[in-house]
C-alpha cells in the first residue's frame, strides 16, 4: 500500500509539473509580447523538477513520465531564454 500511495503522489507531482510548464510557457509568451513586466521565474520550477528527479523511482512508467517532463522542461527552457534575450534586445516602443 505504501508503494502505491507513493506512486500516486509521484504521478500527481509529475502531472502538476506538466501543467506548470504549460502555464510558464504562456507566461513567457506574454512577457515576449510585452504584456508582462517581469520575466517568469523558471529557476524555481527547474529546482523543484531536479529535486523530484533525484528520488528513487522504481515504477518504469513513472520514471519514463518524469524523464519526458524533464526533457520537455529543458526544451522549453531553451525557447524561453531565447525569447527573453530577443525581448531584452528589441527596441521598446514608447506609448
Angle at CA of residue 6, ends 3 and 7, nearest 5° = 85
pLDDT tens readout for residues 15-65: 999 999 999 999 999 999 989 889 999 999 999 999 999 988 888 999 999
Higher per-residue confidence, 6 vs 67: 67
Query: Most distant CA pair in the chain: distance in Å?
Result: 61
Given a cut of 60, is residue 1 above it in pLDDT?
no
Nearest to 55 by CA among 10, 86, 85: 10
Sorted by where each begins, the domain ranges of the chain are 13-23+42-90
**CB-based contacts of 28: which residues, under 8 Å, 6+ apart?**
39, 40, 42, 79, 80, 83, 84
Amino acid at each position: 500500500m505504501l508503494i502505491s500511495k507513493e506512486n500516486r503522489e509521484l504521478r500527481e507531482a509529475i502531472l502538476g509539473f506538466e501543467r506548470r510548464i504549460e502555464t510558464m510557457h504562456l507566461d513567457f509568451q506574454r512577457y515576449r509580447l510585452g504584456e508582462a513586466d517581469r520575466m517568469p521565474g523558471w529557476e524555481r520550477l527547474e529546482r523543484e523538477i531536479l529535486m523530484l528527479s533525484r528520488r528513487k523511482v522504481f515504477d518504469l512508467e513513472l520514471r519514463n513520465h518524469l524523464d519526458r517532463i524533464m526533457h520537455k522542461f529543458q526544451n522549453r527552457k531553451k525557447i524561453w531564454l531565447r525569447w527573453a534575450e530577443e525581448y531584452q534586445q528589441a527596441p521598446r516602443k514608447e506609448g
